[in-house]
Amino acid sequence: MPLATWMQHWEPLPGGSFDAQPYELDVTAPAIDFEPGDELVFRYSGANTSSAMAFIPNGDGALANGRIPNITLP
């Protein structure tokens, strides 16, 4: 059952930089009943790119002038 969806587009940084691009998002999702053993799956996909490189939330953090991706649940 999808809880939230969104789309985001990034253009390549000038000069071929591989630095992180700032992005932070708060998404409201419905409260759901859960049972032991249930799993939360974060799924992302890239679309409409001709580049061999695409968005990858790989968690380079400070190595790419960014921070480690995370999901905060209530």
Rg over CA atoms, the chain: 15
**What is the predicted pLDDT for the residue at 64?**
85
* Tokens standing for residue 26: 């708060």
Chain-centroid distance, C-alpha 36: 26
Q: How far apart are CA 43 and CA 19, in angstroms?
A: 22
Residue 30: closest CA among 4, 7, 56: 4
Residue-wise pLDDT tens for the chain (74 aa)?
A: 888 888 888 787 888 788 888 888 888 889 889 899 999 888 877 776 666 666 667 667 888 888 887 888 77
48 class by beta-carbon count within 10 Å (0-12 exposed, 13-18 middle, 19+ buried): exposed
pLDDT at 38: 92
What pLDDT, on the 0 to 100 scale, is given for residue 37? Answer: 95
